[in-house]
């Protein structure tokens, strides 16, 4: 009785603590985003006012200033869409095939190989930038979209292989064996049985690869040039020695963040399921 009573007394208090932590986390996450969104619709006087203005007359001048003229954002946007989208798709396709082979193989040292694959993703970018730059310059991939795509894949592909192999390991091999007994080939069993069951893993891996590539600044700084610069590079160019255009910087920040938020909301059901399936395993 005493234990049950103590548990009942601590229940509401524990829930209150949980709600408080969640509220603080939401404020920590949402306040900067809301402030950036508001700043993108303010004029230069309101956005730099000493006292923050919560009520103001909204304007689209900051967005109009990003499109057209010498600072046209369209090429940067196109480069980001192509580089991030193609690298995410290629990483997902190759990572899915390689992850399936790694999950279903019975070779010795498979677990060590899996750790070695993900360890290449753990390496700091500064450690791989110089070797990649020398190789890319040798084959003429500097300041090209294919070079930027390959640079993104060098970090996204190991992550995709490791994550997808963990998802495939959670699918019983007996399902494929039953399909092959019924007359399916290995490829047909993979395509018609395994892939539909790993939809959450595919969505999770694809979205994470897309977010990593879309938000990248380090690789774009080194490998991109006038013909392949992306949105993060365009944002950095608004910070000059003569000053910072906070209104346009907030507008371009909104343009960078909004697509990823919408993508996450669109696939949130599969994304949450994929992230809670225990994909990070030690097996």
- Domain positions in the chain are 2-62, 65-275
Average pLDDT over residues 31-41: 88
Q: Could you tell me which residues come within 8 angstroms of residue 82 by beta carbon, excluding any fewer than 6 positions away? A: 145, 149
Note the pLDDT of residue 150.
94
Q: What does each C-alpha distance from 65 to 74, 76, 112, 247 come to in angstroms?
A: 12, 14, 52, 10
Strand partners, 240: 243
Q: Is pLDDT above 70 for 268?
A: yes
137: tokens are 């310059």
Q: Classify residue 3 by burial, with Cβ atoms within 10 Å: 0-12, 13-18, 19+.
A: exposed
Note the pLDDT of residue 283.
42
Q: Is the dihedral of CA 163, 231, 262, 52 positive or negative?
A: positive
Q: pLDDT category, 240, cuts 50, 70, 90?
A: confident
CATH superfamily, domain 65-275, is MetI-like (1.10.3720.10)
Name the 3-class secondary structure at 42.
coil
Q: pLDDT category, 51, cuts 50, 70, 90?
A: confident
Where is mean pLDDT largest: 4-8, 50-54, 249-253?
249-253
Note the pLDDT of residue 157.
92
Q: pLDDT category, 54, cuts 50, 70, 90?
A: confident
Q: Is pLDDT above 50 for 279?
A: no
Q: Is pLDDT above 90 for 87?
A: yes
pTM surpassing 0.85?
no
Q: pLDDT category, 133, cuts 50, 70, 90?
A: very high
Q: Is pLDDT above 90 for 70?
A: no
Note the pLDDT of residue 276.
63
Largest distance between two CA atoms of the chain = 76
d(CA 166, CA 99): 8
Least confident of 14-28, 120-134, 152-166, 204-218: 120-134
Q: pLDDT category, 138, cuts 50, 70, 90?
A: very high
d(CA 177, CA 193): 10
d(CA 209, CA 207): 5
Q: Is pLDDT above 90 for 152?
A: yes
d(CA 101, CA 167): 12
Note the pLDDT of residue 5.
47
Q: Is the dihedral of CA 174, 109, 99, 259 positive or negative?
A: positive
Strand partners, 244: 239
């Amino acid at each position: 009785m005493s234990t049950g009573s103590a548990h009942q007394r601590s229940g509401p208090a524990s829930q209150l603590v949980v709600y408080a932590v969640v509220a603080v986390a939401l404020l920590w996450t949402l306040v900067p985003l809301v402030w950036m969104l508001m700043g993108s619709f303010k004029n230069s006087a309101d956005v730099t006012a000493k006292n923050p203005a919560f009520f103001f007359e909204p304007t689209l001048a900051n967005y109009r200033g990003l499109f057209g003229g010498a600072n046209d954002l369209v090429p940067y946007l196109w480069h980001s869409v192509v580089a991030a989208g193609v690298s995410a798709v290629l990483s997902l396709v190759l990572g899915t095939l390689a992850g399936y082979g790694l999950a279903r193989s019975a070779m010795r040292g498979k677990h060590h190989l899996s750790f070695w694959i993900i360890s290449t993703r753990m390496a700091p970018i500064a450690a791989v930038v110089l070797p990649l730059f020398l190789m890319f310059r040798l084959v003429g991939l500097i300041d090209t979209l294919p070079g930027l795509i390959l640079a993104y894949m060098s970090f996204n592909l190991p992550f995709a292989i490791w994550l997808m192999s963990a998802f495939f390991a959670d699918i019983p091999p007996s399902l494929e064996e039953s399909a092959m007994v019924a007359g399916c080939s290995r490829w047909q069993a993979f395509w018609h049985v395994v892939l539909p069951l790993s939809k959450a893993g595919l969505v999770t891996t694809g979205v994470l690869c897309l977010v990593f590539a879309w938000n990248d600044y380090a690789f774009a700084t080194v490998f991109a040039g006038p013909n392949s610069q992306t949105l993060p590079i365009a944002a950095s160019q608004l910070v000059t020695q003569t000053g910072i255009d906070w209104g346009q910087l907030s507008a371009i920040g909104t343009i960078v963040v909004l697509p990823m938020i919408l993508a996450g909301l669109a696939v949130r059901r599969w994304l949450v399921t994929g992230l809670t399936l225990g994909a990070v395993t030690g097996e």
